[in-house]
Amino acid sequence: MHLLNTSTYRLQTFPDVKKRPPFAILSHTWYPEQEILFKHVQGQEWTTQYKALKGYFKLMRACEQAKTHGLEYVWVDSCCIDKDSSAELSEAINSMYPYYRDSVVCYAYLSDVSSSSEQDPRVTNSKFRSSKWFTRGWTLQELIAPSKVIFFSDMWTPIGTKSELRNVISEVTRIPTTLLRVHYPKAQPFKLSNYSIAQKMSWAAKRETTRPEDIAYCLMGVFNVNMPLLYGEGEHRAFLRLQEEIIKGSTDQSIFAWKAQKGSGEARGLFARTPSEFMESGNIIGGKIQNSYRITNYGLELRLPLLRFRTSKNNSLQSRTQFRGGVLDCFDKDTPGRYLAIYLKHESGNHYVRVRPDLLFDQGVNEYYFKGESYMQGIFVKEPPFFPFSCRNPPTPGIKFTFNDIHILDHHPQSLHISKKNTPTPSLLLPFKEDSSNFFVMEVKTQIFNKTLFIVIGVDTSDGSEDLWFDLIVDAEAEESLKEVFTSFEDGGQRVDKRMKTIAMDYDEVTKVITQTENITLAVYDTGNYSPLEGSRYLVNITSDLREEGIVKSVHQESSPMQTKHKFGQVLKIMKLIK
């Protein structure tokens, strides 16, 4: 562990935890490109060389504040971690919670709360309540772990301590006040263990991180787990790994008590994709039944009481297929004794998937259901492939495509509105205009394909309906420009210039009418050894059923079209928009 000496402003290393001196620690939000970093503090004259950086003032005041508390050292994440060393970065992130827990005092610097204002932080619309510090993923553990936290405004005027402001902090963060009182550092893990997994996840539901994977990594300390950092794996994969680590040491089934976005009809597994799906889980209490889990190639193996029922015509599921109610050993604290359950769809044997993941329902069953062999059943629930593309209603007429775990390197036409272009969750609006083409081309990089692709997406409105069409340019590296790709297409998806290598089927097979009542799924999936085009292993198809097993025909072969069965991999869901 590197600590910054508050008098000499030099880093000193303390590898032995037992010989580590008392230290203060800083919690803050970063200034982009303006922080004092590890490489900066290596020089002899760094205190004069980097005065122009915004982070300099913050660091110097943190040192001064530590000296007023009689502390010779301070730890600041921006300059006390060598981020060029992956081993050191991994060690620091896995040790972050203990760092804050073991500090003598934590200084929470709120750069967006003005010192010139004498506003009471407890008032409803105070700047303190709206500070971005409360919205960041990493600051959750930085708030919980230390025994003492002092909040400071932009000019380092004290605002109050965590204990003094615990009521207003609890209102902002939904963290119980009992966790915000002064405590002995070693006692905090015992306090945390009094809260269910679902409750702790709910505290992170509205928080964000700059790097998508950090929304999982920043929670490792809260759940007392460790795992390797794999930047580039994406938010959903990282969060899945976090949950898998959590269940290795916990039998709390509230980890399965999450809700997907309202109206979500896709089949899911038992794990959530992001902490935001625990938004409404703050009151869920875990039970006391000792459960066991096993992660297998068939999915998560566990035992649950299964309630058998058939849905009626008036039921929202509207299906004749048999469904089960999987009863979880957890309940809402306002309705004790009524255990929560999820909808499970039986696929084959003892294999199930979760359906209507936007719903939880309670059942008036008692704990004997979890002990009786006649009710408990061993099942497997597999996580379906993650779907990186989604579409939501736009603020203006048209279609707004929101992409997950995809980087848009460039797009054409340039006139299209694109937000957050260089982040893992960009969005792009395709408006319906008479004077513009209703399609666009993107050069993208995805975690799934691990290569650069050109994706062409359009909506054909020529016959009065709205037909979605899609194409991939599999030889993206060989193309000269996005404009050249764009001009090789026409509205409706017909190819003008067919020299470029694409993998979409003929026009009739890749279009689908977007109706008001039907979700449209566009799938891009790997064909394994079967390659309809030399050098390509991907095909595209559109269906109205996410899990439908269908036939794909290749029209690129001179002989009779080859057929291959598939199950969909990555998809793009399109919904009818109200104009």
- Mind listing the pLDDT tens digit for each residue in 142-171? 999 999 999 999 999 999 999 999 999 999
Q: Phi first, then psi: give them for residue 35, nearest 5 degrees.
A: -90, 150
Per DSSP bridges, beta strands 299-310 and 322-332 are antiparallel
Q: What is the value of pTM for the model shown? A: 0.68
Rounded Cα distance between 23 and 3, Å, is 8
Question: In angstroms, what CA-CA distances link 241 with 193, 227, 228, 520?
Answer: 21, 8, 10, 30
Can you tell me whether residue 158 is helix, strand or coil? strand
Asked if 479 and 473 touch (Cβ cutoff 8 Å), the reply is yes
Q: What is the pLDDT of residues 300-320, one digit of tens each?
A: 999 988 887 654 444 444 444
Asked if 79 and 37 touch (Cβ cutoff 8 Å), the reply is yes
Give me the pLDDT at residue 540, please: 47
> Which residues make beta-bridge pairs with 418?
428
Q: Tokens standing for 251?
A: 């039998």
Rounded to the nearest angstrom, the gap between the alpha carbon of residue 156 and the centroid of all alpha carbons in its chain is 33
The 8 Å CB, 24+ separation contacts for 321-326 are 321/345, 321/346, 322/346, 323/355, 324/352, 325/361, 325/363, 326/352, 326/354, 326/379
Show Cβ contacts of residue 347 under 8 Å, excluding neighbours closer than 6 positions.
353
Rounded Cα distance between 121 and 153, Å, is 11
Show Cβ contacts of residue 572 under 8 Å, excluding neighbours closer than 6 positions.
387, 389, 390, 391, 401, 457, 470, 521, 522, 523, 524
Rounded Cα distance between 13 and 16, Å, is 9
Show Cβ contacts of residue 388 under 8 Å, excluding neighbours closer than 6 positions.
403, 404, 405, 406, 446, 447, 448, 570
> Which residues make beta-bridge pairs with 541?
523
Rounded to the nearest angstrom, the gap between the alpha carbon of residue 329 and the centroid of all alpha carbons in its chain is 25
Q: Tokens standing for 346?
A: 């039986």
Q: Tokens standing for 490?
A: 């026409």
Cα radius of gyration (the chain):
27
Vertex 430 angle, CA 520 and 391, to 5° = 35
Rounded Cα distance between 145 and 553, Å, is 57
Rounded Cα distance between 405 and 232, Å, is 9
Which amino acid, residue 122? Answer: R
Other Cβ atoms closer than 10 A to 49? 12
Domain ranges of the chain: 2-190, 229-311+320-381, 438-542
Rounded Cα distance between 94 and 83, Å, is 14
Q: Tokens standing for 248?
A: 């290795």
Rounded Cα distance between 574 and 542, Å, is 11
Q: Tokens standing for 553?
A: 């025909």
Cα-Cα-Cα-Cα torsion 245, 250, 251, 254, nearest 10 degrees, comes to -80
Asked if 175 and 144 touch (Cβ cutoff 8 Å), the reply is yes
Q: Which residues of the chain have pLDDT under 70?
A: 182-190, 265, 309-321, 364-374, 385-406, 415, 417-428, 430-436, 445-452, 461-468, 473-480, 491-579
Other Cβ atoms closer than 10 A to 39? 12
Vertex 528 angle, CA 526 and 529, to 5° = 140
Rounded Cα distance between 148 and 154, Å, is 20
CA-based end-to-end distance of the chain: 57
